[in-house]
Amino acid sequence: MTVIDISPSVMQFLLAFIVVAPLLGAVAALLPAPPGLKGRNPDQAVLRHGVTVTGAVLIAAIVLATGFDHDHPATMQATTDISWIPALDVRIHLGIDGISLPLLLLTALLTFLCALYSYFKPPAGPSPKAFTALVLVLESGTLATFAVLDLLLFFLAFEMVLIPMYFLIARWGGDQRRAAAWKFILYTLLGSVVMLLGLLLIGLRSGTFDMVALATDNGRGLTTSVQVIAVLAIGVGLAVKTPMWPLHSWLPDAHTAAPTVGSVLLAGVLLKMGTYGFVRILLPIAPDGMRTFAPYLAAFAVVGIVYGSLACLALARKGAKGDLKRLIAYSSVGHMGFVLLGIATMTPTGVNGALFANIAHGLITGLLFFLAGAVKDRYGTADLDTLAGATGAALYGRAPRLGALLAFAAVASLGLPGLAGFWGEMLTLFGAYSPAEGLSRPAFRTFMAIGAFGTLLTAAYMLIVVRRVCMGEHSPHSELSPASTPADAPETADAPEPAGTGPSATTPPRPATPQPGATTPQLADIQTYEAATWTPLAALTVLAGLWPAVLLGLTDPAVQKLLAGGKS
């Protein structure tokens, strides 16, 4: 069943357009604007170009989804297969199924929302031309990762996103941005080198780099030892990008330093590339190798769940000087741990839960980073102690709609039933209760129990954040005024440290204690452009929570076929 009937040739064109258009748009962004399109402000003109290109890609992705045959989501559709390097049998092979289509739509949506947000609130830094071009290159590489069906093309697309994200952090980020960017690039590049060796091993030993053919063969053409080596090599590269504990340490620094748009794309899109590689490549192509490493992958996953939650609790406590963006980054380590646990079960229930959690994390954490950026713009800091001590009313009293949306995103992140975050975690735990044949049931049930404990820790730190940031702590002696920067001012590239934190800083005079009945100083509440950017994410979070069959109906047949060795 298709929503609208689209011919196969048009579907092929749409998928190729989705992958290539952002790259062409990036080139166009660097060229001088035609006289009629310059407008009064050339910077705004190039940012408007970014909105136009990403909007066109989003429309094409939606049309592609409406033309997708939902009765056969396990079948590769909109396929293009052209010989590229005959000597190595490398082909330009594109296609989508029920696994890749939701990730394609998520990427197109988040990138468009980031471009729209940047148009109204440009980040401070170098030329907007370079910023727009980097965002478009990043989008093209991410979309290609989810659309290509050749191992070497997958690697090229996987690496294509690293340089744009490095420059987005290094040039448009905040404090410690250069160190964070270097840490990001070094971790991911070292992981990618190891991953390339594993991909070459599979391709050379099997005689093809075609992912569909390799998935259909289901590892029968590879010895167990080759599969084990390949899973170890490829898994390391994918685990760095996911990020899996203990290869996660680049993530909090990158998120803390990145501009708002960079954090949204990093959490909402780039982390999904690692888990997608586990599902698309390792599960069907090297099942014996995955079975060998599945218990270890699950163990690392649940350690990440608990570690990420404990780190968030430590940051959220009073007096810890925790950063809100850093806390959300650590929460991603825990949430992606649930995704890895679901993949490690090697069952349809667990893998479907992992894919659902992937999409839910992209929506919810993308919204959280948008909100964290807005809070930082208004207060001039993301320090939790400052945010909580600013007034006894905090966000609820100063910007009630912003506070309410932050509370909504927080409870969605903790897995409240009826919202998107619930289903992925629940299905993952169900999958761990009854793992695939050959895996230790007692071990995975232990992992399930630890993961369930992690959900309680997640609820604890998220509720603490809501209480402190939204409700505040009644402390009349710590009344602070909101940042003097207006809400629509550009993001600060190098935010100064709060007074009193530097080694030679002097303590500022304490503001007067507010008198009883005094009006709480107000902050700018949600602006029109912010509402336009954030509403789709909130609405989809509710829709996915109330109607999970929309997503599971796409992924389940494709997962069943993938785990069965290409047989429906």
DSSP 44-67: HHHHHHHHHHHHHHHHHHHHHHHH
**Maximal C-alpha separation, the chain:** 80
Question: What six digits make up the tokens of 164?
Answer: 């744009």
- At 322 the pLDDT is 80
The partner residues of 100 in beta bridges, in order of sequence, read none
Residue 325 and residue 370 in contact, taking contact as beta carbons nearer than 8 Å: no
Taking the mean position of all CA atoms in its chain, how far away is CA 405? 19
End-to-end CA gap in the chain = 17
Burial class (CB in 10 A: 0-12, 13-18, 19+), 501: exposed
d(CA 337, CA 24): 36
Residue 15 and residue 68 in contact, taking contact as beta carbons nearer than 8 Å: no
- At 522 the pLDDT is 65
H-helix segments, 414-527: 420-433, 441-465
Phi-psi region of 39 (alpha: psi -120 to 50; beta: other; left: phi over 0): left
DSSP secondary structure letters along 352-421: HHHHHHHHHHHHHHHHHHHHHHHHHHHHS--BHHHHHHS-SSHHHHH-HHHHHHHHHHHHHHTT-TTSHH
Supply φ then ψ for residue 317, to 5 degrees: -70, 155
**Strand-strand pairing, 77-85 and 90-96:** antiparallel
- At 503 the pLDDT is 37
Mapping DSSP to helix (H, G, I), strand (E, B) and coil, where does residue 512 land? Answer: coil
- For 288-298, the pLDDT digits (tens) are 999 999 999 99
d(CA 442, CA 298): 13
Mapping DSSP to helix (H, G, I), strand (E, B) and coil, where does residue 104 land? Answer: helix
In this prediction, the residues of the chain whose per-residue pLDDT falls under 70 are 1-2, 33-40, 389-393, 473-522, 566-568
C-alpha distances in Å from residue 497, one per residue of 169, 176, 256, 320: 18, 11, 14, 16
pTM of the predicted model, to two decimals? 0.87
DSSP secondary structure letters along 431-446: HHHS--TTS-HHHHHH
Which element (helix H / strand E) includes 211?
A: helix 211-217
- At 38 the pLDDT is 57
Neighbours of 23 (CB within 10 A): 19
Place of tokens 């080596």: 229
- At 33 the pLDDT is 66
d(CA 289, CA 208): 19
DSSP secondary structure letters along 234-301: HHHHHHHHTTPTTS-THHHHHHHHS-HHHHHHIIIIIHHHHHHHIIIIIHHH-HHHHHHHHHHHHHHH
The partner residues of 96 in beta bridges, in order of sequence, read 77
- At 36 the pLDDT is 53
d(CA 422, CA 360): 9
Supply φ then ψ for residue 345, to 5 degrees: -70, -25
- At 39 the pLDDT is 56
C-alpha distances in Å from residue 484, one per residue of 125, 460, 505: 20, 33, 20
d(CA 252, CA 126): 24
Total H helices, total E strands in the chain: 23, 2
- At 218 the pLDDT is 80
- At 509 the pLDDT is 37
- At 524 the pLDDT is 76
